[in-house]
Every structure is written in C-alpha cells, then in structure tokens.
Amino acid sequence: MQARTGDLRFFRTCITVMAVVLVFGFVLQLAMGRSSFGAPLIVHLHAVAFMGWVAITVSQAWLAAGGAARFHRLLGGLAVAWMVALAALGPLVTISAVRTGRVPFFFQPQHLLLADPAMLIGAVLLFACAVALRKQRDWHTRLQVGALMMLMGPGVGRILPLPFLKPYAFEIAAVLPLAAPLIGMARDQRVHGRIHPAWLWSIGVLLSLLICARVIALSPAGNAIYAAATAGSSATGTDGRAFPPPPQPMSR
C-alpha cells in the first residue's frame, strides 16, 4: 500500500511538471509577441480541447493521489469524450495551417501534415490502452504519462530555438519529453527493482511514429497526401518539402 501511494504521488508530480512545461511554452510565445489571439476559429477550438484535456489529466492525477477514487472515475468519462474531440480537431488544425500557408518556417509543410497527426494518434492509442487497463493501476498510470508525453511537442518546441534546429526541429521537440518516461524508468528500477514495460511501450510508440512520419513524408505517398490536402487552396502545386520563407521584419 505504501509503495502504491508513493507511485501515485510520483505520477501526480510528474504529470504536473509536464503540464507546467507545456503551458509555459505557449505563454512564453504569447509574452514575446510571437503568437496572438488573431488565429482562425478552428485554432481556438483546438486550443480549448488541447488545454482542457491537459487540465483533466492533471486533475485526474491529483484526484488519484488524494484517494478520491469516485471523482477520479467520474472525470475519467469526461476525459474519454474530451480526447475524442481533440482527436477530431487536431488534424483539422494541421490541414488548415498547410492549406493557408501558416506552417512555421522551420517545418516542412508535407512533414508537418503527417507528423502532427501521428503524434496525436500515438496519444490516442496510449490513452485508449490506459483506459482499457484502468484496473491494472501500474499500467494505467504509466500509459497516461505516455499519452501526455506524445502531446508535449508543441509546448516544448515553443521554448526551443527551433529555427536553428532544421530540418529535424519537429523530432527534437517531440523527443525531449522522453525525459518523463526515462525518469520513471529510473525510479521503477530504484523503488521496484525492475523497469515497467509500459514505459518501453510509450517510448516505442513515440519513436516509431516519428520515424514513420519522416519516411512517409519523403516518399511518393507523402507527395500524394500533400497534394490531396492542399487541392483547391493557395498551397496547390507548391513543394511540400520546401521550408516556408521566414517572416519578413515589419517596416517602420
């Protein structure tokens, strides 16, 4: 019982720190004037879904650590519905950015079109496994950390100097959150004497999807997907592998 309580407190701390880092990235960009609230409606809807799911995940961790099992289960139902909304809005935001030329200049549009949904798919898969294994607390908690890890790239990337990390800026931002499962693995080895396989599954999902997204983006299949996604837009006929031009400085 003492070991389980210690585990829940660890996961509460881990998820809270992950959420703080993620939110800090967005707040930093807003404070520096690099982002604004003047984005299309679909972006705002996605932001609500994204940050709402992060808030639910953090609340779940605190409820579990505090022994509020009943409220934890009730909020779990909302978490499932919220993830469905996030899964629907995520790809729409990426497609909208590619079609309207709003892809950051340190990402290749064709790669972002595949990599962003790939990370979301990974989060959905790990979250779905966590829900399915909710009675096996050791798996459930670790897979929840893995699901949040899959979605940390956008927040972490906003802290990094991504323009200097081309052409692998996306991968670097996505890989750094692996610190969470690596810390969890080290703790498992110290406290339980072995590394739980849930950590390895989470890491494997992340790395596999990153590799697949990069390979497909540079293939004829990636060309076809990009052409279909941009058909009828201002990006029609453009080279999806070419980095967009950096923003021009504002004239005084």
Residues 160-191 have pLDDT tens digits of 999 999 999 999 999 999 999 999 999 999 99
Q: Which of 27, 44, 10 is nearest to 144 (CA)?
A: 10
Q: What is the pLDDT of residue 39?
A: 75
The predicted model scores a pTM of 0.92
Quote the CA–CA distance of 188 and 14 in Å, as a whole number: 13
Q: What is the pLDDT of residue 2?
A: 52
End-to-end CA distance of the chain: 65
Quote the CA–CA distance of 5 and 20 in Å, as a whole number: 23
Residues 234-247 have pLDDT tens digits of 999 999 999 998 87
Alpha helices in the chain (DSSP H): 2-31, 41-65, 69-99, 109-132, 137-150, 153-157, 169-175, 179-191, 197-217, 220-230
Q: What is the pLDDT of residue 70?
A: 86
Q: Which of 1, 90, 5, 19 is nearest to 56 (CA)?
A: 19
* pLDDT class of 88 with cuts at 50, 70, 90: very high
Q: What is the pLDDT of residue 252?
A: 47
Q: How many CB atoms are located within 10 Å of the residue 51 CB?
A: 14
Q: Return the domain boundaries, the chain.
A: 2-230
